[in-house]
Chain A
Amino acid sequence: MAGDEKMIDGWPLPVTDDPLDREFYRAARRGELVIQACGDCGKLRFPPRPMCPACQSLAQRWQVLAGRGRVWSYTVPHPPLLPVFNAQAPYNVVVVELDDAPGIRLVGNLVAGTEAPLNSVDPATIRIGEPVEAVFVAMAEDVTLIRWRRPLS
């Protein structure tokens, strides 16, 4: 990661080279939201795991989803947090239920846009059930995080 000017010191980021889920991170860098699916019965699962709990198959594939969902719940953390988050607190963390994968819910942030900070949306305006769409935010050479914004239309 040395020399990558986008890397923010102290920001907790995922390992992205684990064979189990590296495709999730590769897809995010391409601007796609993919979810692991069973290669036999097709059941979607998250977080990624080696085996399908529905049919015990080890076969898997990655399914491209639309990147749209609804706010399932949210919180507004206040300090003391990790230093990088203290700097933007209070901010929102949303849990988004995906429109095309009911029961799969991703943690993210509702932001005003790709370059906007974590606190760019007034938490008092957030409503459970409101529609959101994915934005892809490059944090490091190998890490693109999926956040959410309100639909433009």
Chain B
Amino acid sequence: MTIKDRAAIVGIGQTPFAKRLEPSETELACMAIRDALEDAGISPAEVDALSSFTWESSEENEVASNLGFGDIRFFSRIGYGGGAGCATVLHMAMAIATGQASVGVVWRSRKRGSGARVWALAQERMADVFKSSRPYGLVRPADEVAVLTRRYMHEYGMTRDHLANVALACRKHANNNPAAQMYGKPLTRDQYLSARWIAEPLCLFDNCLETDGALACVLVSAERARDCKHRPVYVHAGSQGMTAPHPTMMNHFCDEPLDGPSWATARGLWRHSDIQPADIKVAQIYDAFTTLVPLSLEGYGFCKRGEGAAFTEGGALELGGRLPINTAGGGLSEAYVHGFNHINEGVRQMRGTSVNQVPGADACLVTSGEAVPTSAIVLRN
């Protein structure tokens, strides 16, 4: 038994995205979930299953109480921050495929725009894995990814122009998306190359946005999906993944530091998928940092090790290119809500309603955070 096409996403919802929103994270979560259920045409009273991130502050019972859900029979949480997004969909598809759930809601709400930066909450005395790095001034996720970026440049000849290809593709897509934080704000290559440094070799535009916002999806069985308001978007395949020896952000305590968690996730994903990388015409690739895109292109099998940077050349990642990615703007230019906006955009591509619709797209890869234990799904229509 597999989950293959047995569950479908039938509703999506999201709040506005902004640097600062007034409502609480729980309130934003409830707004996004309410809108997703409305989009599906399903009453809140029918919801019986929930899945979200361990980092999520809106508790299941609070969400259920606010929205008027009935009995809840399945609830799960996925760890590791930005690695969790696609796994919430995967867990819900598993629950529905096995009959544990009938109407499932998955969501992420986060006020990372107006709230504290996680790294700035560092304690003066650390007992966790950061005790080996923060005392040396390697403080932020950007610093850790910068170390990997420099090594990747050294080994495979990636340049800042390649990273700019990623940033500019996402920005171009966001410029067509009225919901994006960077709507109406073009970015040129010159602006990219002259931007201020965050952690060399990463500049401002290699980093994702800081966003307040929430998103949600509603899943039901394939049978039920045919009676919902929109064209069903089937969860064709999915996998979680940690690559041995299972490092998190600081991926250099191992023999092959450039083999991130996407490598293990991809092996699990494609094994159960009739749709293979060569069949994928559009992808939503987790982009907290530009570097993660070439690394993911390799991990998920769109090119070989070391070819991810060259893959980005010639507008390959833009609408009309070889593999348009992050067609709503991604974490770099639409919103950074721990990658959940990639899921909703994958659904829009499969419905044919994206502001940057890829003609003929019948399957979409969605990935969660490369560089932490992660997950990915293949959606199809």
Query: Which chain A residues have a beta carbon within 8 Å of chain B's beta carbons?
Result: 10-15, 18, 46-47, 53, 72-78, 81-82, 85, 88-91, 93, 95, 103-109, 118, 123, 128, 139, 143, 145, 147
Contacts and interface: CB of A to CB of B under 8 A. Distances in A.
B124 interface: yes
Given A15-B125, A18-B127, A93 B138 contact: yes
25 contacts: A10-B124, A12-B123, A14-B126, A14-B135, A53-B245, A73-B147, A73-B252, A74-B147, A74-B150, A75-B149, A75-B201, A75-B202, A76-B197, A76-B200, A77-B139, A77-B140, A77-B199, A88-B137, A89-B137, A93-B136, A93-B138, A93-B143, A107-B133, A109-B137, A123-B200
Contacts of B129: 47
A103 B134 CA distance: 20
Interface of B: 120, 122-127, 129-140, 142-143, 146-151, 154, 196-202, 245, 250, 252-255, 257
Contacts of B255: 103
Contacts of B140: 77, 81
A106 B132 contact: yes
Contacts of A77: 137-140, 142-143, 146, 198-200
Contacts of A15: 125-127, 131
A13 B11 CA distance: 47
Contact of A82 (B122, B151, B197): B122
A135 to B, nearest CB: 13
B136 A82 contact: no
Given A73-B147, A78-B200, A128-B154, 15 more contacts: A13-B125, A14-B126, A14-B127, A15-B127, A47-B253, A53-B245, A75-B149, A77-B142, A77-B146, A77-B198, A93-B136, A103-B254, A107-B132, A107-B250, A123-B200
B193 to A, nearest CB: 16
Contacts of B200: 75-78, 90, 123
Max chain A Cβ within 10 angstroms of own Cβ: one of B124, B196, B197: B124
Contacts of B135: 11-14, 139, 143, 145
A97 B200 CA distance: 20
B147 A82 contact: no
A145 B136 contact: yes
Contacts of B146: 75, 77
B250 to A, nearest CB: 7
A95 B145 CA distance: 12
A72 B252 CA distance: 9
B247 to A, nearest CB: 10
Contacts of B134: 12
Given A47-B129, A77-B143, A95-B252, A107 B138 contact: yes
A109 B135 CA distance: 10
B141 to A, nearest CB: 12
A14 to B, nearest CB: 3
B199 A73 contact: no
B306 to A, nearest CB: 16
A18 B126 CA distance: 11
Given A14-B135, A90-B200, A103-B255, A75 B122 contact: no
Contacts of B143: 75, 77, 93
A46 B135 CA distance: 17
Contacts of A12: 122-126, 130, 134-135, 139
Contacts of A14: 125-127, 131-132, 135
Contacts of A93: 136-138, 143, 147
Contacts of B137: 77, 81, 85, 88-89, 91, 93, 109, 118
A128 B123 contact: no
A73 B154 contact: yes
B147 A95 contact: yes
The 4 A-B residue pairs whose C-beta atoms are closest, nearest first, are A14-B131, A75-B146, A73-B151, A76-B200
